[in-house]
Chains A and B, each alone.
Chain A
């Protein structure tokens, strides 16, 4: 089926992109960059498909929301991975390994961790909200942009060390970072938290 071929093509594209380039792709935007003839021809094809191609392309509930960067001079070596510990709503710990350069939301999805990403990394929602459990690690992160802060303002259970998962990019200094997934239900009903007006 065409959709299957396209999704396989998609993963091949991602794997073959030049290693010395730093780029970030998100959703449809990947089709607008001209990385090789693969993308140019697939862009034309995909434009003509019906809307359901998007979810077929990003199959298995993992949407293409990727940022990669490879350290210069590392050609031939495996991408370095860091340890990340997710603490879910029930307090259970999930240990995963995340390649440097990947964003935390994508890493969560690759490991079947239930972290929502409604807007697929467009900074148009706050559903990938995570809480950095140790201030030390929080301070190692880059300052959030105004755009991220605007979305964080609307997040449930916002704390001093909250960040949007899609904006946290794995780097070596973050090895061992612990991220809590906020329990919405607890905040929603018990604390009497009132959602901000529409």
Chain B
């Protein structure tokens, strides 16, 4: 025990000169990085900036309302924000309020952790990406709508045109959205779902949800916990085609190398077997259809209401091995339609570049080596510039993935401090940032402003038997942040 402590003391002695760090983005990647930096360097002074006045990124705006235990990580983030060497600056946007070069002038280390987004880019057909029909949304927009993100509170999706919604994709985001459609609204009423969404869902006529994946059950991107959860929803009928469950030797190999995949396949098989005995098409019953081996070709436009979607045209696929155990979907030239009035695209994410930051458009990430930003060819490191989270790895993983991602990036930072002289020289850090923001008249929302928003949401929640009632417009958020206590 004493040897352990001694080593930590030694490390601290060497890292106690002031190190001014700016972290852009206050989601899990941002907070885990801040946490590890504070522990590794006694002299680290960290400013976390975020475009929104509320911190926590996707933990607040992405995690489904019926998954409160996943949001517990906020407790740890909140402790980091309260640290004396850490400060939160909300309502500060990189690009418009501040430029990257201004930040580099103020700080020794600048950390890009933000997960910026573009529209869903489908890898399969380009036509789909450009078709804009009413009723077609990216899952991100829909999730932000029901989670009360201020940019999407006025989305107003039409949930009353028909009884069917199609979700393209079979990852956990697709499952989240399906669950929100299909869960009894009485269960949603006591979560922190935005009230405008709850009202819309209470009047929704959606009863059938199709989850469409271009490959098979063995390749589905969802995870067991979420699958188990949705299969267990009361009075929900599951539909899976038995023929979709037949496995090839290549599938067997994939399952052998991943116990997660094997468990998921078994859950789906059991669900299909259980569903065999139940009756089809009872009026008004809620149904969840798992559709495998179908890739979207194009959206169908309604004849009665022009400009609105009426269905999806799908191409049947088969799997082809491409080496190293991987199988991809290949179109067969056979097509079929599913009629619906709503389509949600939940097939992936891409970041957008920021002025001054190198960007790999193909992968949608900032090129980096273990978190160190590189430009041009891989040997050209940008001093003092680092990435963590989805901007570094692509949009994969769970909240905890950022823990390890942060560990790696902070490891690189520590090494650069010792070996490359990062952290030398005078920088203004927070003081300079405050002056700059004042000069530009940016109304920053600090920790105390966020605490006022937090308290108000919780107070409003008590009245409605919810953990919180989110403030969903920019005006309300900024007003609450600057209210007199």
Contact = CB atoms under 8 A, between A and B. Distances in A.
Given A124-B70, A125-B398, A127-B403, A198 B393 contact: no
Contacts of B458: 50-51
Given A55-B75, A118-B72, A119-B70, A150 B404 contact: no
Contact of A116 (B74, B228, B403): B403
A72 to B, nearest CB: 32
A151 B393 CA distance: 21
Contact of A198 (B82, B398, B403): B398
B403 A184 contact: yes
Interface in B60-100: 67, 69-70, 72-76, 78-79, 82
A125 B260 contact: no
Interface in B257-271: 259-260, 263
A94 B1 contact: yes
Contact of B393 (A126, A146, A185, A195): A195
B75 A125 contact: no
A148 B366 CA distance: 35
B223 A196 contact: yes
A149 B224 CA distance: 9
Contacts of B358: none
Q: DSSP class of A's interface residues: helix, strand, loop or mixed?
A: loop
- Give the residue among A54, A118, A195 with the most B Cβ atoms within 10 A: A118
Given A118-B72, A127-B400, A153-B223, A188 B405 contact: yes
Contacts of A94: 1, 4
- Give the residue among A63, A123, A124, A198 with the most B Cβ atoms within 10 A: A198
Contacts of A185: 404, 407-408, 411
B407 A95 contact: no
A142 interface: no
A160 to B, nearest CB: 10
Given A195-B398, A198-B173, A189 B73 contact: no
A126 B404 CA distance: 12
B479 interface: no
A118 B393 CA distance: 21
B383 interface: no
A75 interface: no
Contacts of A58: 75
Contacts of B316: none
A192 to B, nearest CB: 11
B408 A120 contact: no
A63 B221 contact: no
A188 B408 contact: yes
Contacts of A48: 462
Contacts of A120: 72, 75
23 contacts: A50-B454, A51-B78, A52-B82, A52-B451, A52-B454, A54-B75, A54-B78, A63-B75, A95-B1, A116-B400, A118-B403, A124-B69, A125-B70, A150-B225, A154-B260, A154-B400, A184-B408, A185-B411, A187-B404, A188-B404, A194-B396, A197-B171, A198-B171
Interface of B: 1, 3-4, 7, 67, 69-70, 72-76, 78-79, 82, 171-173, 221, 223-225, 228, 259-260, 263, 370, 393, 395-401, 403-405, 407-408, 411, 451, 454-455, 458, 462
Interface of A: 27, 47-48, 50-52, 54-55, 58, 61, 63, 88, 92, 94-95, 111, 116, 118-120, 122-127, 146-147, 149-151, 153-154, 156, 184-185, 187-189, 194-198
